[in-house]
Amino acid sequence: MTKVRWGLLSTANINKRLIPAIRASERGELVAVASRRQAAADTYAAEWGIPQAFGSYGAMLASGEVDVVYIGLPNHLHADWTVRALEHGLHVLCEKPFALTLADVDRMADAARDNGRVLAEAFMYRHHPQTKAVGEWLRAGRLGAISLFRGTFSFTLTDHRNVRLIPEWGGGSLWDIGVYPISFAQYVMGGPPEWVFGDQRRGGAGVDVAFSGTLHYADGAMAQISSAFDVPWYTHVDVLGERGRLVLNRPFTGLVGGQRRLTFIDAQDNAEEVPVEEQELYSGEVEDMHDAVLDGRPPYLGLDETRNHVRTVLALYESARRGERVFVEEISD
Ligand SMILES: NC(=O)c1ccc[n+]([C@@H]2O[C@H](COP(=O)([O-])OP(=O)(O)OC[C@H]3O[C@@H](n4cnc5c(N)ncnc54)[C@H](OP(=O)(O)O)[C@@H]3O)[C@@H](O)[C@H]2O)c1
| Single-letter amino acid code for the residue at 250 | R
Which of the listed residues 82, 100, 122 is the one where a domain comes to its end? Answer: 122
Among protein residues, the one whose CA lies closest to atom 22 of ligand 1? 12
Low-confidence ranges of the chain (pLDDT < 50): none
Is residue 36, in this structure, part of any structural domain at all?
Answer: yes
pLDDT digits (tens, 9 = 90+) for 229-246: 999 999 999 999 999 999
Q: Are residues 59 and 186 in the same domain?
A: no
pLDDT given at position 278: 85
Residue among 8, 10, 71 whose CB has most ligand 1 atoms within 8 A, to mutate: 10
Q: Write down the pLDDT at residue 256.
A: 62
Buried b (16+ CB within 10 A) or exposed e, 26-51: ebbebbbbbbeeeebbeebbeeeebe
For residues 106 and 254, membership in a common domain is answered with no
90 and 169 inside one domain: no
pLDDT at 54: 98
Residue 108 falls within a domain, yes or no? Answer: yes
175/207 same-domain check: yes
Q: In this structure, what is the dihedral angle of CA atoms 110, 170, 174, 205, given to the nearest 10 degrees?
A: -170
Domain with 85 in it: what CATH number? 3.40.50.720
Please check whether residues 208 and 94 belong to one and the same domain: no
Rounded alpha-carbon distances, angstroms, from residue 185 to 6, 275, 300, 312: 31, 22, 17, 11
The reply to whether 185 and 272 lie within a common domain is yes
pLDDT of residue 257: 60
Distance of CA 157 to the CA centre of its chain: 19
- 65 and 135 inside one domain: no
Same domain, 152 and 104: no
Q: Does any ligand 1 atom lie closer than 6 A to the CB of residue 59?
A: no
69, β-bridge pairs: 7, 92
Q: Which residues pair with 52 in a beta bridge?
A: 32
DSSP H helices, 140-282, are: 173, 179-189
CATH number, domain containing residue 222: 3.30.360.10
Confidence at residue 255, expressed as pLDDT on a 0 to 100 scale: 60
Q: Could you tell me if 174 and 186 lie in one domain?
A: yes
Mutate-to-test residue for ligand 1 from 17, 44, 95, 301, highest number of ligand atoms within 8 A of CB? 95
- pTM for the structure as a whole: 0.97
Among residues 83, 98, 122, the one where a domain terminates is: 122
User: How many domains does the chain fold into?
Assistant: 2
Distance 321 CA to ligand 1 centre (A): 27
**Residue 246 β-bridge partners:** 239, 264
State whether 8 and 97 are in the same domain. yes
CA distance 32 to 9: 9
Q: Is 36 in the pocket of ligand 1 (CB under 6 A)?
A: yes
152 shares its domain with 96: no
299 in a domain, yes or no?
A: no
Ligand 1 proximity of 163 Cβ (cutoff 6 Å)? yes
pLDDT confidence of residue 1 = 79
C-alpha 39/C-alpha 57 separation (Å) is 13
Does ligand 1 have an atom closer than 6 angstroms to the CB of 67? no
* Domain range for 239: 126-279+311-330
Q: Is 306 within a domain? A: no
Kindly report the protein residue whose alpha carbon is nearest to atom 9 of ligand 1.
95
- How far apart CA 324 and CA 186 sit, in angstroms, is 21
User: Does 141 share its domain with 271?
Assistant: yes
